[in-house]
Structure 1
Amino acid sequence: MDRLQAMTVFVRVVESGSFSAAARLMHLGQPAVSKAVAQLERQLGVQLLLRSAHGLTPTDAGQRYFERVARIVSDAEDADTAARDSTFSLQGRLRVAVPTTFGRIQIVPRLGEFLKEHPRLKMDIELDDRRVDLVAEGIDVAIRVGPLNDSTMIAKRMARGRRSVLATPRYLEQSLALETPEDLVQHQAVTYARDDGERYVFHQKGRDVSATLSSRLNLSAAEGIRAAVLADLGLTIAADWMFLPELERGTVVRCLTGWSLPPVDLWVVYPSGRLTSAKARAFSDFVAGVVRELETVSRSMC
């Protein structure tokens, strides 16, 4: 068995959790699978798997090796498919990390077209507001909002989205007037935990005004901010796409529309140290299309 075949066997063993399951997936005998992994261990001079009555688990060295060879195997499968099929369709598994609210509102509902275009592709989507470690968690591509703190990642800015003061009409009817950024301190605000205490700079015709929000409710997840604002608990400062369905219906409105805030950046991020797969590039192109659609809708409401 050649080196690439042995790598493929090892990847399938780790993914399936046993020699027997990998053998069934690859239509091989179990002894051939065991022999392939033993061959790799001899060549590398390290133990890759821990065998126990409870199954197989990678050693630390095995996990590091798996993270790298899984990409090699996936890219080789893509290359084979592209060479055989003039109507190239992606296949294999793509692991994606997307902020929860952006993913739930803007990405997941539009995935049907992407999956239809690539019927042999399987996806794992991590919906999470935290900054996922792409390498440690085996993520192929991530979408991130706001400033990037990790300079080791390969990143490309996809868009700069409008950011606004947002509230429900019902909240505004029950509250004091909101005519200038200085009035924000008199309002109940719903804030994001990682932005707590941030000073916002509003711009209007050559004039800058700095203001902070008076946080009544501080939440650790964007979904909580949405729920609180929609329950009339206060106003917030957020990217427009976060409330785009409600802005279109008028159940949430922009405030201080004569003032502008610095935009929020939307990034596509790839793990460093390895080639970006065709699957990851295709997904980032798909998201870029979604973003262009959102920008068109947002401009139409200005």
Structure 2
Amino acid sequence: MVKLDGITNFVAIAEAGSISAAARRLHLSKSVVSERLAGLEQSLGAPLFHRTTRKLSLTEDGIAFFERASRIVWEVQDAVAEVSERRGTLSGPMRLSAPVTFGRMHLGPALYPFLSKHPGISLTLELDDRRVDAAADGYDAVIRHGTVEDSRLVALPIAPSRRLLVASPEYLKHYGKPTTLDALGGHRAIYYTNRNVADWRFLDLRPDAFVRPPASLRVNNGDMMRDAALAGLGLALLPSFIVGEDVKKGALVRVDVGSEAAEEMIYVAHPEGRRASKKLQELVMALRGAFGTPPYWDVV
């Protein structure tokens, strides 16, 4: 007899790509996950994975089974959430991914009151600056900053995001303050490696309309970009939610080159084809209220 926990276990392995990763996601030991997979394969009378020393890959039977099994798991989770919502409560697990710096600086303080108000929700929040695959990695939703690039996601905006070109007073004193886009090529810059150099986008300009500065540092974390700018390593194009307070205090100076950086969005996105659960909808509303319009971190 096929058990639901065996199906849930299989879907987690298929999405995570390994038994170890699935065990971490399910908060189970590797031995339990392995035993459940073996039990499911025995019940079905067919192997679901090709096993090598390096990875697992789905067999043809596994691919066919996964298509329906993943729908079953989602439908069960959705049904449980709907019953809870009918009783007027928000409960059950929710798994989110968010950028490290935004999560630390702003998301956490906005989440804590929401979770206190809804103690039935068990939230797993994973902070990661890489762009995770919301569906394949098993997230209910991801919180992102930028533009919506994945057509498989449904985006729910929670706040606009202004980006500011900044540098330390010491850097500008030593290298001069650029006043035009053409002058940027003679400076040094700090770049975010999870995006390419063309991420320096300004309103109404083509990406190749000016020469970008050579890099003094490339790094995949906003906190370190800010710290590098404060240390005088170069110009940095950073969201106001990271550098707003530094600009207000004068620790960093806005650099006006005659054109504003293209505005972006902070949004919650869930996989296409899944309805946004009531608890996810309520979370979006809570975050919008906590951040405000315009958001509290914006500088004048």
**Same fold at TM > 0.5:** yes
Q: In 1, distance between residues paired with 2:115 and 2:9? A: 23
Residue 217 (structure 1) aligned with residue 217 (structure 2): yes
Report the equivalent of 1:71.
74
Amino acid of the structure 1 residue aligned with 2:75:
I
Once superposed, what is the RMSD of the aligned Cα atoms?
3.7
Kept after mapping to 1: 8 A contact 2:175/2:187: yes
Q: In 2, distance between residues paired with 1:220 and 1:93? A: 29
Q: In 2, distance between residues paired with 1:124 and 1:161? A: 25
Q: In 1, distance between residues paired with 2:100 and 2:242? A: 10
Residues 174 and 258 of structure 1: CA distance in aligned 2, closer, same or farther (over 3 Å):
same
Q: Secondary structure at the match of 2:286?
A: helix
The answer to which of 137-146 and 236-245 deviates more is 236-245
Q: In 1, distance between residues paired with 2:72 and 2:230? A: 46
Residues 272 and 252 of structure 1: CA distance in aligned 2, closer, same or farther (over 3 Å):
same
Report the equivalent of 1:191.
191
Structure 1, unaligned runs of 5 or more:
23-32, 51-57
Larger Rg, first or second structure (1 or 2): 1
Residues 226 and 10 of structure 1: CA distance in aligned 2, closer, same or farther (over 3 Å):
same
Structure 2, unaligned runs of 5 or more:
13-25, 51-57
Residues 79 and 200 of structure 1: CA distance in aligned 2, closer, same or farther (over 3 Å):
closer
Q: TM-score, normalised by structure 1?
A: 0.72
Query: Cα deviations across residues 160-194 of structure 1 (Å, max 9, x unaligned)?
Result: 42222112223223321332332222222101222
Q: Secondary structure at the match of 2:185?
A: helix
1:170-185 equivalences under 5 Å are 170-185=170-185
The answer to which of 271-280 and 92-101 deviates more is 271-280
Amino acid of the structure 1 residue aligned with 2:289:
G
Residues 277 and 256 of structure 1: CA distance in aligned 2, closer, same or farther (over 3 Å):
same
1:161-176 equivalences under 5 Å are 161-176=161-176
Q: Secondary structure at the match of 2:148?
A: coil
Query: Cα deviations across residues 24-78 of structure 1 (Å, max 9, x unaligned)?
Result: xxxxxxxxx99xx87x956xx766799xxxxxxx995676666433332322222
Q: In 1, distance between residues paired with 2:46 and 2:249? A: 60
Q: In 1, distance between residues paired with 2:28 and 2:259? A: 56
Query: Cα deviations across residues 196-244 of structure 1 (Å, max 9, x unaligned)?
Result: 255643679xxxx745233222223333322311322111112212223
Q: In 2, distance between residues paired with 1:16 and 1:160? A: 35
Kept after mapping to 2: 8 A contact 1:155/1:267: yes
Residue 227 (structure 1) aligned with residue 227 (structure 2): yes
Kept after mapping to 1: 8 A contact 2:200/2:237: no
Amino acid of the structure 1 residue aligned with 2:189:
A
Query: Cα deviations across residues 125-144 of structure 1 (Å, max 9, x unaligned)?
Result: 12122221111110111122
1:264-279 equivalences under 5 Å are 264-279=264-279
1:47-66 equivalences under 5 Å are 60=62
Report the equivalent of 1:243.
243
Residues 67 and 291 of structure 1: CA distance in aligned 2, closer, same or farther (over 3 Å):
farther
Structure number with the higher strand fraction is: 1
Q: In 1, distance between residues paired with 2:248 and 2:179? A: 22
Kept after mapping to 1: 8 A contact 2:160/2:294: no
Q: In 2, distance between residues paired with 1:146 and 1:133? A: 16
Amino acid of the structure 1 residue aligned with 2:197:
D
Q: TM-score, normalised by structure 2?
A: 0.73
Q: In 2, distance between residues paired with 1:172 and 1:282? A: 45
Report the equivalent of 1:30.
none
Kept after mapping to 2: 8 A contact 1:169/1:251: yes
Amino acid of the structure 1 residue aligned with 2:71:
R
Amino acid of the structure 2 residue aligned with 1:179:
T
> How far 1:290 moved relative to its partner?
3.9
Residues 172 and 142 of structure 1: CA distance in aligned 2, closer, same or farther (over 3 Å):
same
1:1-302 equivalences under 5 Å are 7=4, 11=8, 15=26, 17=28, 41=43, 60=62, 67-84=70-87, 86=88, 88=89, 90-193=90-193, 194-198=195-199, 200-201=201-202, 210-256=210-256, 259-292=259-292, 295-298=295-298, 301-302=299-300
